[in-house]
Amino acid sequence: MTPRIFTTAAFPSSVVTLQSKYDFEATVFRLKTALAAHGVTLFADIDQSAAAAKAGASLRPTRLFLFGNPKAGTPVMEANPHAALELPLRAVVWEDPASGVWVDYQDVTTALELDYKVDANLIAPLKQMPALLSGALA
């Protein structure tokens, strides 16, 4: 479920990397549609490549999503206010011309449980997110 890409770039073990079989714009559309269909709020859609262009730099097509469901996230933040540093959830869609379109998702569930000591029952709804993202790319 968590295929890794062929790259020399480092990333933490909490990053779930999924390859999309769709082009960049279709992947963005599918992810936004899947989030909305599952009652997940898209708080921000940041076009990082457009921001780079405004700064006179270039960056591969890259979009960062901040998203979540307050019904799932609020109890976590109530249990430990510091957990708000991990929420909302984040995913980035990016394109590598050589190998396609990728979605990286920061899975914070282990950190919430081990580092923030949030009860596993409160984290359970967040553990469904990798499957939702993966389903959007199928």
pLDDT grade, residue 1 (50/70/90)?
very low
Q: What is the pLDDT of residue 10?
A: 75
Percentage of residues in the chain having pLDDT higher than 70: 93
Whole-number Å distance between alpha carbons of 28 and 93: 7
The tally of domains found in the chain comes to 1
CATH code assigned at 111: 3.30.310.70
Q: What is the pLDDT of residue 99?
A: 85
Instruction: State pLDDT tens for residues 45-66.
Output: 999 999 999 999 999 999 999 9
137 has pLDDT over 80: yes
Q: What is the pLDDT of residue 47?
A: 98
Q: What is the pLDDT of residue 3?
A: 47
pTM: 0.89
Q: Decide if 114 is inside a domain.
A: yes
User: What's the gap between Cα 8 and its chain centre?
Assistant: 21
Instruction: State pLDDT tens for residues 54-100.
Output: 999 999 999 999 999 999 999 999 999 999 999 999 999 999 988 89
Q: Decide if 55 is inside a domain.
A: yes
Q: What DSSP letter does each residue of 91-118 carry, written as one string?
A: EEEEEETTTEEEEEEE--HHHHHHTS--
Q: What is the pLDDT of residue 8?
A: 52
Q: Decide if 22 is inside a domain.
A: no
Q: Decide if 128 is inside a domain.
A: yes
Report H helices in the chain: 24-37, 48-54, 70-79, 109-114, 120-123, 129-136
Instruction: State pLDDT tens for residues 7-59.
Output: 556 778 889 999 999 999 999 999 999 999 999 999 999 999 999 999 999 99
Domain containing 97: what range?
32-136
